[in-house]
Every structure is written in C-alpha cells, then in structure tokens.
Amino acid sequence: MSDEKENPGLDERLKDLDPQEIYNIKALMKRMQGGNITPVAVGKTLPEAVLIGDEGSQRLSKSMTGITERSIAASVEENPEALTTALFPIIGSAIRKALEKFLAEFMDSMNRGLEKTLSVKRLQWRYESIKTGVPYLEIVLRETIQYRVEHVFLIHKKTGILIKDVSIEGKTGPDSDMVAPMLSVIRDYIKDSMALKKSEEVDSIKAGAHTIMVEDGPYATLALFVRGNADIKARTAAQEVLETVHLRYGSVFKAFSGNMKPFDGVESLLKRCLISQGRQSEKKKPVYAISLLSIILLAFLTFGILGIVSGQSRKALIKSLDAEPGIVVVSSKTLFGKTKLKLLQDPRAKMAQDVASSVKTSLLRYTLVSEPYLSPLFSDSMPANKAVPEELLALGRKLAEIVLYFEQDSDELRTGQEGAVREAGNILSELIGKSAAYGFSTSVDIVGHAAGNVQDEAALLISDIRAKKAFALFAEINTHLVNYVKALGLGISEPLVPIELTEEDRIKNRSVTFKAIFEQIK
Amino acid sequence: MIKKKLCLLGILGVGKTSLIKKYVQNIFSENYLVTVGVKVDKKNIVLPDGQEVVLIIWDMEGQDDFRNFADSYLRGLSGYFVVADGTRRESLSTAKSIALTMKNMFPNAESTFLINKADLKEQWKTTEADIIELNFCNSSCYKTSAKTGENVEEAFVDIAARMAKKDHV
C-alpha cells in the first residue's frame, strides 16, 4: 500500500508482470529507498562484507588500523582493568615463553663454558680470577659469550626460496640460493624425525664453528649464520628485524610469486642482524717478542758489564805493568775479548804473572809478547832480595846529576869541567866507603850520550868515544879510583833530554854522566 | 628477476638427477647414484621474452610409493616434472598416479611429463598411445635424454616460461 502512496499508478503499470517480478521490483525499490538497511540487516551482512572488503589489498585492515588503536587507547583510558583482564592469559604465556627462551640460551651458554673446564683455558681463567678478583663465572661468561653474525638469510617460509641475504664484508660461501632451501629441508627433516609438535621449531643448528640461528615469522624465516656462541642480543635482533620485515612486506609476502623486485631495500633491515658481541678482541701479548728482546737486552747488558769490567781490569793491569820497573807496555790490542800485550821486559824485572796476580787479574784472556831489554832503572843493580840503602841511592842520584859536556859534533870535552870530575871522584870515594858498610860494592859507569834521534853506529861510536874521553879525564884526576869505573857508550838510548827541541837540549845530550852500580856482597 | 621452485618427481632410477645435472652443468654420467632425501640445485635463465628467472630445482628422492613424500619438500612449488623411464612401463603408470595426486595437491602449479632415456628408444616399452593417455592430466610432455641432452633444455625453458607467467608460487 505504501508503494501505491509513494508511486501513484505503480500497481497499474505493473499489472502485466507476473507476481514474482512484481515482488522483486518492489523489494528493489525498498532497498533503494533504504527501507531494508536496519541494524539487524547490517549485522547479518557485516561479517561477510568485512571478509570481502579485506581480500586482496587488505584495504579494510589498513583503514581499521587507526580506529583500532584509538579504540584500544580509549578503552585503557576508560577502564584499564577490562583490557588487562582480557589480555592476562596471553601476557602470562608470552612472558613465560620469553623467559624460557632466555633461560635456555643462558644455560646453553653456561654449558659451553663448563665444557671447557678441563682445558688449559680454564686454568688460565682461574688464575685470572684469582689475580684480578673477578668472579670465575663472570670470566667464563665473558670468554664464552662471543660471537659474530656473518651471514643473514631471509627465506620465504612456504617455498624455501631465498628472498635476500647479506653477509659481512669479505665473507664468501656456497650459493645462498641453494643453502636457503636446504636449510628448510634440514629443519623439516629434523622436525619430522624427532616427531616434534607443530609449535616446536628447530630454531638452532650447530654446524662446525657456526651456529645457524633461525627465527620464524608467518611468511618468512630469518636465518643467522653465527660464528661462536650467540647470546640473547642476536636472537632479539633477529626477532625485531623479522617483525619489521613482516610489517613492511607482509602483503608482498602474502602475494609472493617469486618476484624479487618488491623486496629491494630489505637488505638494510637484514644488515641490522650483522652484529658481533662479547669479549673484546683478545690481543695476545707478544710473549715471544718480549722474551727475545729481553734475551737480547740481557746479552747486551751482560756483555756490556763484562766489557766494562774487563776494560777496567785491562787498564789496571797495563797501569801496573807500566809502573813496574823494567817492564814497558809497548802496545795493547783487544780482539774478540782477547788482549794482546807487547812488552819490553828486563830479565831482572818482576814476572808479568806476578804483576797480574798483584792486581787480581788472570792472564787467561791475555797474550803476552815480550821482548827482552835492559832497563836503565836497574843500573843500580837492585838486589832481588835486599834493598839498596837510601843513603847510597841518594849519593848515586847526586853522582848522576854530574854532567860533562862536549863541543858540538865533537868528542872534545869542554874545558873547565875538571871540578865536576873531581867531585864525581869524591862521591865515588864516599860511596865505596859507605856501601862496604852496608854489605854492597860500588862501581860507576861513565855513560857517553849522543844527540839526535837515530840510534845508529855513529851515535854509539861518538857516545863511546865521549865516555872514554871522560874516563881518561876521571882517571887522570882520580887515579886511585880507576878500578871502580868503566866507560860505556849508549848512543841516544838514554838521553838526558828525551825530545830535543832546542840547541840547548842537544848540547845536554852531547854529554857524559855517571851511573852508580851497587852489588850486594855475597 | 623472479625465483621459482621446480620439483622433479618419479620413481627410482628414471633419471631425475641426470636430467638436472645435464641441464645445470651439462654433464652426464653413466654411474647411478641414488638421491637420498632431496638435493637442491639452481639455474639462472633468460626466457625468450627477456625475463630473468632463477630456477630453484628440487631433486626429490625417487620413491615407488609417492605417498611417502614429505609435504614440506613440495610446499610452495610453482611447477613440477613427473619423470618416467621409457624403458620401464611401470614407471609410466606410477608417473600417472603421481600426476593425479599432484594435480589435486597443487592445482595451480605448472606440470610436465618427461619420458626419459630417449637415447634408448629401441628398448622402450612405452607406446605412443600410453603417452597420449597422459594428456588427461593437462600436462605437456617431452621425450628427453639426459645422455644426449635431447629436449632437456626445451623442457626446462618451457616450464620456466609457464611458471613465470603465473602470479602465484
């Protein structure tokens, strides 16, 4: 009836149609006028409409996201208890699961640490613990929880096809496209063989030095190839990355047809899993280098000290030898720790070994090359076993001070030297008398000298002539003493002035001197 | 670039591994090695239309009773070869049974029959009628030889092209 009111003449116009057609047209008109859109009608069709609307592009889900979030926020604001009560069973289960996972990994890590308890490492850790005071368990954990994620695979869960993979720089391995499906196969095989429940996943596989850590999402699997023992951080990183991957690429995964293009850019997410964690890179102390350097240093120190000691000892020996009457050290050469000493040694002088003993030096490291010579220091014939009395020596020195000079390049005595010769005679007379009282006999060498720096025959000859001339004068003036004197020409070997610089020096060396010789009366 | 999962099915000794080896590495060996479980290979190809396809080829263990196959190995495949040995008639009947099962499990997947060992045609126990009968599965069919390489490349490229056209795995 209402149709006739709103559309006068409608029934007339429809009279030619059959009853079913009339009903359909009227129902359609009612729907167009909104007559059937009642809450009951919407309630009946809404679930179906939501399902249809969310198919394909998930437009409905996306459009509902904001509303859902705001609804939850409003619910919490109004009555937090309601949501807490609703979520309580899930929260408890989720926390339990997370704790179980953490404890399982913690225990695994502990077990690995304890596995090493029979190793040398363990002893080192014990020692470190005692030394540093750090608890042993802490050291074990620090040493064992060390890892590096070297390769990350994002795998399509349903097909096992590799979506993307990233690895640390320089890491190469087998073809990732083949590894990813095989990993899925292995996991399925283990699961089937062990008859694991659907909820139980194979989330870790140990292969050599690597642990393959696997995280599953609804559409994708993330596999981390970890060198060492991964800790919870790696697992957490994997979970976070997998969640983000699903958020961003969920719809792409759902409609996955093998096309890789939509996944461009996912690598940056995967790279977040390439982490390393644990103890700082263990820097080995360069024990061998330190030892070697220490040995070298020690050797240097030893040789250095020995060298100094040896050098001082050598110097002391040379000094002592030089100081010893009748021994002259001509040269000293040290080669490979052995010292060669060239000596001039008067047969009457002390033995070099005795001198060395007196300065507490062994002659084992010395080679002595000695040449015999007659030292003027022994001209007073020091007896080996009895010292010449000082009184005699003083007279001897007084006698030695008397010098007779000669003309230049001549054997002629200068005139006016008779007094000196006479005095020499007097001293000799005194010496003869006094030396007899001491048990010594005295004689005098009238020693002729020559000027110049070459000891040749001419020098020896002129000195000899000078000595004889002086002897003649001495004998003439001191006739009674002639048996106590003899003439001796020494050339330039014992000059009065060793280095002639002036004419005066040369004059002094053209001379004759008197040398007293004492001999013990046996 | 797209990646597609392709499985090879058939009873023991029909030449699944040899076909893959010939196609991927161009190698043929008379030695017979039994595949245990599954082995995965890979082949990058460029289709005639220029599209790049990576074939992830799953070489399944030959089993006389197809029901023993783990579903997980087949999950997500885009195509499959059912391989029979032309010299063994029973391999063809098993191939038919495999094809029927697979059609039910994966109605959208591309499939091809490969009657292998075409180099031994004089020893074939399979007739043309038998091969025509295979059409009931709506699959294409190739007579292949892993030894000579006959139709091997063609069969793989054909199924790859058909798989690439589909927007599902």
| Residue A288, domain member (yes or no) | no
CA A387 vs CA A20, A83, A109, A384: distances in Å: 170, 127, 95, 8
Rounded to a whole number of angstroms, the distance from the CA of B42 to the nearest CA of chain A is 7
Distance, CA of B9 to CA of B80 (rounded, Å): 7
Identify whether residues A413 and A490 lie together within a single domain.
yes
Ordered domains of chain B (ranges, CATH): 2-165 (3.40.50.300)
Rounded to a whole number of angstroms, the distance from the CA of A185 to the nearest CA of chain B is 7
Query: Is residue A243 within 8 Å of A224, Cβ to Cβ?
Result: no
Rounded to a whole number of angstroms, the distance from the CA of A56 to the nearest CA of chain B is 13
Nearest to B78 by CA among A161, A253, A264: A161
Mean pLDDT, chain A, whole residue set? 81
pLDDT band at residue A250 under the 50/70/90 scheme: confident
Nearest to A226 by CA among A148, A280, A320, A321: A148
Rounded average pLDDT over A171-199: 81
Identify whether residues A371 and A451 lie together within a single domain.
no
Q: In this model, does residue B127 exceed pLDDT 50? A: yes
Rounded average pLDDT over B38-44: 91
Q: Is A162 on the interface with B (CB under 8 A)?
A: yes
Interface test with A, best of B2, B47, B72, B80 (most A CBs within 10 A): B72
**In this predicted model, which residue has the larger pLDDT, B40 or A458?**
B40
Identify whether residues A386 and A516 lie together within a single domain.
yes
Q: Is B166 on the interface with A (CB under 8 A)?
A: yes
Q: In this model, does residue A72 exceed pLDDT 80? A: yes
Q: Which of B2, B4, B42 sits opposite A175 (nearest CB)?
A: B42
CB atoms < 10 A from the CB of A181, how many?
26
Distance, CA of B160 to CA of A311 (rounded, Å): 93
Query: Is residue A106 within 8 Å of A229, Cβ to Cβ?
Result: no
| Residue A285, domain member (yes or no) | no
**C-alpha angle A212-A213-A217 in degrees, rounded to nearest 5:** 130
| Residue A49, domain member (yes or no) | no
Complex ipTM over 0.85: no
pLDDT band at residue A113 under the 50/70/90 scheme: low
Torsion angle of the four alpha carbons A270, A272, A275, A277, in this order, in degrees rounded to the nearest 10: -140
Query: Is residue A449 within 8 Å of A511, Cβ to Cβ?
Result: yes
B165 dihedral zone (left: phi>0; alpha: psi -120 to 50; beta): alpha
Please tell me the predicted confidence (pLDDT) of residue B66: 66
The DSSP bridge partners found for residue A149 are: A226
Q: Is A175 on the interface with B (CB under 8 A)?
A: yes
A519 dihedral zone (left: phi>0; alpha: psi -120 to 50; beta): beta
Please tell me the predicted confidence (pLDDT) of residue A286: 57
**In this predicted model, which residue has the larger pLDDT, B34 or A506?**
A506
Query: Is residue B20 within 8 Å of B92, Cβ to Cβ?
Result: no
Rounded to a whole number of angstroms, the distance from the CA of A63 to the nearest CA of chain B is 26
CB atoms < 10 A from the CB of A37, how many?
12
For residue A158, the chain B residues in CB contact (below 8 A) are 75-76, 169
> Quick one: three-class SS letters along A28-42?
HHHHHCCCCCCHHHH
Identify whether residues A246 and A221 lie together within a single domain.
yes
| Residue A502, domain member (yes or no) | yes
Distance, CA of A267 to CA of A165 (rounded, Å): 7
Q: Burial code of A374-402, b = ≥16 C-beta within 10 A, e = fewer?
A: ebeeebbbbeeeeebbeebeebbebbbeb
CATH value at residue A433: 3.30.1330.60
Distance, CA of B39 to CA of B56 (rounded, Å): 10
Identify whether residues A357 and A424 lie together within a single domain.
no
The DSSP bridge partners found for residue B110 are: B79
The DSSP bridge partners found for residue B80 are: B7, B111
Q: What is the CA radius of gyration of chain B?
A: 15
Identify whether residues A351 and A386 lie together within a single domain.
no
For helices A418-438 and A390-400, what crossing angle results, to 10°?
170
| Residue A27, domain member (yes or no) | yes
3-state secondary structure at position A109: helix
Q: Is A282 on the interface with B (CB under 8 A)?
A: no
Give alpha helix (H) positions in A387-456. Answer: 390-400, 418-438
Structural domain including A346 reads 299-377
Rounded average pLDDT over A163-181: 82
pLDDT band at residue B116 under the 50/70/90 scheme: very high
Identify whether residues A418 and A512 lie together within a single domain.
yes
A206, exposed or middle or buried, with CB in 10 Å at 0-12, 13-18, 19+?
A: exposed
**In this predicted model, which residue has the larger pLDDT, A143 or A271?**
A271
CB contact set of A213 (below 8 Å; sequence gap of 6+): A203, A204, A223, A224, A226, A230, A234, A235, A238
Rounded average pLDDT over B94-122: 90
Distance, CA of B146 to CA of B29 (rounded, Å): 9
Torsion angle of the four alpha carbons A146, A148, A153, A158, in this order, in degrees rounded to the nearest 10: 0
Nearest to A149 by CA among A87, A229, A94: A229
| Residue A283, domain member (yes or no) | no
| Residue A110, domain member (yes or no) | no
For residue A160, the chain B residues in CB contact (below 8 A) are 5, 56, 75-76
Interface test with A, best of B4, B36, B40 (most A CBs within 10 A): B40
For residue B4, the chain A residues in CB contact (below 8 A) are 161, 258
pLDDT band at residue A281 under the 50/70/90 scheme: very low
Q: In this model, does residue A63 exceed pLDDT 80? A: no
Rounded average pLDDT over A252-271: 88
